Amino acid sequence: MTTLIQNGTVVTATGRHAADVLVDGTTIAAVLMPGSDAAASAAAGAERIIDATGKYVVPGGIDCHTHMELPFGGTFASDTFEIGTRAAAWGGTTTIIDFVDDAALKEMDSLVNEGITSFKLFMAYPGVFYSDDAQIFRAMQVAADNGAMICMHAENGIAIDVLGEQAAARGQTDPIYHGITRHPRFEGEATNRAIQLALVAGAPVYFVHLSASEALERVAEARDQGHNVFAETCPQYLYLNLEDHLGAPGFAGAGYVCSPPLRTKHEHHHADLWQGLRTNDLAIVSTDHCPFCMKDQKELGRDDFRAIPNGIGGVEHRMDLIYQGVVMGELTLERWVETCSTTPARMFGLYPQKGVIAPGADADIVLYDPDATTRISVDTHHMSMDYSAYEGIDIDGKVDTVISKGKVLIQDGAYHGAKGDGAYLRRGLSTYLT
C-alpha cells in the first residue's frame, strides 16, 4: 500500500520544512517538495492520501527505557507489553526498549549478537536488583570488549537503606520519606563512581533517569573531558516535585514513589535538567515507565514507604510533555524530535531504521497538531493505572495520527492496531562512541 502524507511540516533533529512524505509498504520511499512534479505524480499514484495541513510530521517516538510487567516488591508493573505499547502508540511512541533480561556476564556476548546491545545495571536496591562495584566493573569490561552500552541506575543503595531504616525506626513512614532518604548526593556519588569505573574499564556509560543537579554536574564534567558518558532524564523529573507530589496529603504521595525520587522544588534540579537537555549533557528523554495501581499495589506500602512499589507510568505522555517544553520555550521543536526519537535511535543502535523521516527509514510517523490540545487524565489515558501522575496537566498540542511501519495505528481519535502488530527489533551498537 502506498500512502502520501501531504501538506505537513516535516520536523527532524536538524530542521523543519514543508514536504510531502511518500510511504511504500513499511518504509518511507521519498520526501518530496510540495508542488513539484514528483509530488504531483506521487499524489496521482498513491492509494491513500493523508492531509497533514497545519501539522508537524515527525518520526515516531522512541522510549528507550520502559519496564512493562517488571516484578517489583511482590507485585508486577501493571502494564503488559500489549497494553503498554498500545498506550505508547496513543501518545506517539512507536518503539520501546524494555529490560527483560537477567543477564549473566557470560551471556552478554551472545545477547549482543542477538541484537540486545544495552544492559541496565543497578547501584540501588540491595538484595534485589543491586550489583556491587566488582560486578559492575566486570560488566563494563565485557562491554568495553563487545561494544554494548551499560545503562546505569546510579544511586548509592547501601547508604539509602541506612537512612531508610533510620527513618522507619523514627516512625517516618509516609511516602515523602522515600524522597528524603534518597538524597541527591547519593545520586551524585554513584554517578561519579560509575564514571570512574567506566573510564578504567574503557567502556561507555549511559545514566538512566538522571534526576539531580549533583549527578548532572558529574556527567557534564566527564563529557567536557571528551568521555563516552551519556545521560537521559524523564518527564517526572522535569514536571513533578518532592513537596507537591511525593508529599501530597494522606497516602496520595505513593503514586509518585519512583527511584530516583522526585526532587525538591526549592533547589534548582528542574531548571538544571531543562538546561541539560539544551546543552546535550542530557541527550534523551525516556520515561522509565513502570506503572503500578494505587489499589492493591502502591497500597502495599501504606504503613511503610519502603514497601511501596517504585515506579510511575508515563509512556503515553512523553511526547506531549516534552512538546510542552517547546511551548514553554525550554526546547526547540527540533530538539524535541532529537531527544525523543533521533538520539534514542542512534544511542541504542536503531538508526537510520528508526528516528528519522528519510527515504529507507521505517514509516514510523506521527502527525502532531499544534493547534489542538490534550488534557492528561486517568479518565482518558490508556495505561493500566487507576490514577495519573500527570492528572490535569494541559498540553498545547495533540497527537493526531500515528503510523507504525506504514500501518495507521491512531487516526480520528480511534485505535486501529491489532495484537501482534509489534515486532522485535534487533539492535546494532550505539553510533555515538568514539
Rounded to a whole number of angstroms, the minimum distance from the CB of residue 187 to ligand DUC is 12
Task: Restricting to residues 59-88, name those near ligand DUC by CB under 6 A.
Answer: 67, 70
Window 308 to 367, contacts with ligand DUC (CB under 6 A)? 310-311
Our finding on whether 288 is near Zn ion (CB under 5 A) is yes
Query: Dihedral angle at the C-alpha atoms of 418, 422, 423, 424, nearest 10 degrees?
Result: -140
Please count the other Cβ atoms lying within 10 Å of the Cβ belonging to residue 44. 8
Stretch that binds Zn ion, among 88-96, 227-235, 286-294, 334-342 (CB under 5 A): 286-294
Q: Closer CB to Zn ion, residue 247 or residue 311? A: 311
Binding residues with Zn ion: total (CB under 5 A): 2
Q: Looking only at residues 126 through 185 of this chain, which bind Zn ion when binding is defined by CB under 5 A?
A: 153
Nearer to ligand DUC, 262 or 347 (CB): 262
Answer for which of 259, 264, 297, 342 binds ligand DUC (CB under 6 A) is 259
Q: Which does 317 bind (CB under 5 to 8 A by kind): Zn ion, ligand DUC, none?
A: none
Task: Name which position in 152, 194, 238, 258 contacts ligand DUC (CB under 6 A).
Answer: 258
214 binds, among ligand DUC, Zn ion, none (CB under 5 to 8 A by kind): none
289 binds Zn ion (CB under 5 A): no
Q: Do 227 and 199 meet the contact criterion of CB atoms below 8 Å apart?
A: yes
Closer of 281 and 288 to Zn ion (Cβ): 288
Of 153, 178, 298, 381, which lies in the binding site for ligand DUC, with binding defined by CB under 6 A? Answer: 153
Q: Which does 353 bind (CB under 5 to 8 A by kind): ligand DUC, Zn ion, none?
A: none
- Which residues 6+ apart lie within 8 Å of 212 measured at CB? 184, 187, 188, 260, 263, 269
Residue 429: CB minimum distance to ligand DUC, A: 24
Q: Is there binding between residue 290 and ligand DUC (CB under 6 A)?
A: yes
Give min distance, CB of 309 to ligand DUC, in A: 8
When the beta carbons of 153 and 335 are compared against Zn ion, the nearer one is 153
Q: Residue 310's binding partner, choosing from Zn ion, ligand DUC, none, with beta-carbon cut-off 5 to 8 A by kind?
A: ligand DUC
User: In the bound complex, which residue of the shown chain has the CB atom lying closest to ligand DUC?
Assistant: 258
Q: How far is the CB of 362 from ligand DUC (least distance, A)?
A: 29
Is residue 407 involved in binding Zn ion (CB under 5 A)? no
Beta pairing partners, 120: 151
Residue 65 or residue 346: which is nearer to ligand DUC going by CB? 65
# residues contacting ligand DUC (CB under 6 A): 9
According to the 3-state scheme, what is the secondary structure of the chain?
Answer: CEEEEEEEEEEECCEEEEEEEEEECCEEEEEECCCCHHHHHHHHHCCEEEECCCCEEEECEEEEEECCCCEECCEECCCCHHHHHHHHHHCCEEEEEECCCCCCHHHHHHHHHCCCCEEEEECCCCCCCECCHHHHHHHHHHHHHHCCEEEEECCCHHHHHHHHHHHHHCCCCCCHHHHHHCCHHHHHHHHHHHHHHHHHHCCCEEECCCCCHHHHHHHHHHHHCCCCEEEEECHHHHHCCHHHHHCCCCCHHHHHCCCCCCCCCCCCHHHHHHHHHHHCCCCEECCCECCCCCCCCHHHHCCCHHHCCCCECCCCCHHHHHHHHHHCCCCCHHHHHHHHHHHHHHHCCCCCCCCCCCCCCECCEEEEECCCCEECCCCCCCCCCCCCCCCCCEECCEEEEEEECCEEEEECCEECCCCCCCCCCCCCCCCCCC
Residue 154 CB, shortest distance to Zn ion, in Å, is 9
To ligand DUC, the closest distance from the beta carbon of 206 in angstroms equals: 14
Asked if 79 interacts with Zn ion (CB under 5 A), we say no
Residues making contact with Zn ion (CB under 5 A): 153, 288
Give the interface with ligand DUC as residue ranges (CB under 6 A).
67, 70, 153, 258-259, 288, 290, 310-311
